Structure 1
Amino acid sequence: MFTLLDADGRSYLSPAPGTYGGHRRGRIYGRLDCPSALRALARGAYRVHRVFFADEPTAISAGYRPCAVCLPQRYAAWKAARHSDSE
């Protein structure tokens, strides 16, 4: 079983692994092969804050933003939307 977060940010057990990983404190989600996340995991401190999502819509619903490194187009769209909301 795998522990994933749902759209409300609550943990649940799933028979399938997540397709996106995230950082709980930074509220960022990205691909499981993200170079930035892999570097952070190699340093060790990141692992305790690691979360997983079944899919991207769930990560977004849980309040996480796209990673600028592994999802640059989605990050740019998120940033533009956030900027237009503040005007």
Structure 2
Amino acid sequence: MSDQTTRHWTLLDRHGRPWSSPCPGTLGGHRRSRIYGRLDCPCALAAIARGGYVRHRVFFLDAATAIAAGYRPCARCLAQDYQAWRRSRKI
């Protein structure tokens, strides 16, 4: 029998509090700008390559959790969600 350690990821909940999850996050976000997007977002990856962003990076299980925590969709990698968010703010 092998000794396997269960891996856990630190995600933010709908209140913006960290919690330990047995599932990895599907979305990444930036704590200071309050934006979330795909893990392969070109904007986030470029910022990481420049040496920034990582210190303030957070992760979410899904978009509903990110929105509930007060984050908005990225205009680049989630363009349709971002447009819907913008329209909802004009009402």
- Which category of TM-score, normalised to the shorter sequence, fits these structures? over 0.9
Partner of 1:43: 50
Instruction: Verify: 1:27 aligned to 2:34, yes or no.
Output: yes
**Secondary structure of residue in 2 paired with 1:4:** strand
**Secondary structure of residue in 2 paired with 1:57:** helix
Question: Aligned pairs, how many?
Answer: 84
Q: Which amino acid aligns with 2:75?
A: A
TM-score, normalisation: structure 1: 0.94
TM-score, normalisation: structure 2: 0.90
Instruction: Verify: 1:8 aligned to 2:15, yes or no.
Output: yes
Partner of 2:4: none
Q: Deviation of residue 48 (structure 1)?
A: 0.3
State how far apart, in whole Å, the 1-side matches of 2:28 and 2:76 are: 13
State how far apart, in whole Å, the 1-side matches of 2:17 and 2:82 are: 24
**Secondary structure of residue in 2 paired with 1:45:** coil
Q: Deviation of residue 22 (structure 1)?
A: 0.2
**Where do 4+ consecutive residues of structure 1 move more than 2 Å?**
none
State how far apart, in whole Å, the 2-side matches of 1:57 and 1:81 are: 15
Partner of 2:65: 58
State how far apart, in whole Å, the 1-side matches of 2:11 and 2:69 are: 11
Q: Which has the higher helix share?
A: 1
